[in-house]
Every structure is written in structure tokens, then in C-alpha cells.
A and B are shown apart, each in its own frame.
Chain A
């Protein structure tokens, strides 16, 4: 079945460093890849997304890259700040049934 693997499960960085989270999806028919940030006690919130016809997208300190051949996409956060501390989820939307499959999440800690 459809599956999205996300690594690492936990990531600890020093303030100002970069953080990279990687995801791999199984269904080559998927073509929309959003990233969500979930803060404690809240619902997830979209931070950036990418579609299959684009290889890279950037929004200020956040960037996402997509390699369709490898079925691999990554989130890059530069100049991390303590407020970036949260759980980050990648997801893939499958054209076959409009299912949104989420990765298991990465808990990011940014140390001041």
C-alpha cells in the first residue's frame, strides 16, 4: 500500500544551524507534497508544499526539494530559531484516491 517514510524521528540542532528532514514515498502516482508543522496542543499547519512539476521551492528560511525519480523529498530549514521547535510532518497525496499519507513526523529541537 501507499507509504511515506520520514527521517529522522528526532533532530536536535543549535540555534542558527540548518535542519534537514527527509521523506520517501512509495506511490509514483503521487504529485503533491505538503509539509506541516505541529506545535504542542495545536493542529498541524502547512508551512510549504511542492508539486511534481517543480524540483525546488523556497520561502524565506524554508525550502523543499523533490526528486521524482528517487521518490524522495526533503525539507530544509536554515538559520533555525527556538520557535522552529515543533513536530514536522511530510505528506504525499495520491492521485489514485486522493488519500493524504503522512510521514511519522520529526520532532525538531532548536537549542538557544
Chain B
């Protein structure tokens, strides 16, 4: 158990809908990262927050947005969903801005039908 929690574990929704994925980092970690892992593909970095502020952005679509709240939990919002958005979404946390180990949660499997 990494100490990072993600909810929900599974999510099935229809095209055009909007969903919110939630992540609680390890106690004491200030950085939260979001990644997308499509079938048989690697981890695509989406976005990073550090202590409530956005610090790095990857290839995140404009339909996707995220935020980190004062209690350090984070939410990833995916809107106008398309079939191609079906993937595993991982949240990870670390103590620093990126120079140390990232602890990954169990992931949320999103299926868009």
C-alpha cells in the first residue's frame, strides 16, 4: 500500500459526459501528479500540483482540468468525454517538486461507452 488513495476504482460513463477523479496523497506529500495510461501504453504525464499551485503541465487536453485543494487532495476533471479517453488514470504524490520517489495510487479505470 503506497498510502495514496484514488476514488472511484472503476468508472463507466457515456461519450459527452463529465467525470471527476479524486486523489488523496500520502500524508505529508505536497506534490500531486496525474498520469494517463492507455491500453498497452506507457504513462503519459498530464499535470503536477505542488502545495496547491500548478507546477508542470504535460500533454493534457483542454477538456481536462485539475486542481489541488488546501487539504492537498486533488481532483482531475474530464469533460466532453470521447471513446479515446478510456484509460487508467493514476495519481502519484511526492514530498518535493519532482526530484524524489513518486508514490502511485491504485488508479481509476475509466471506460467511456
The interface of chain A, by Cβ under 8 A from chain B, is 6, 32, 34, 36, 42-46, 49, 51, 89, 93, 97-105
Contacts and interface: CB of A to CB of B under 8 A. Distances in A.
Interface of B: 2, 4, 33, 35, 41-45, 48, 55-58, 90, 92, 97-102, 104-107
The 10 closest A-B pairs by CB, nearest first: A43-B104, A98-B98, A102-B43, A104-B42, A98-B56, A46-B101, A97-B56, A99-B56, A105-B42, A44-B104
Contacts of A42: 106
Chain A binding surface SS class: strand
A88 to B, nearest CB: 11
B76 to A, nearest CB: 15
A21 to B, nearest CB: 13
Contacts of A105: 41-42
A16 B48 CA distance: 39
Contacts of B58: 99
B2 A93 contact: no
B107 A43 contact: yes
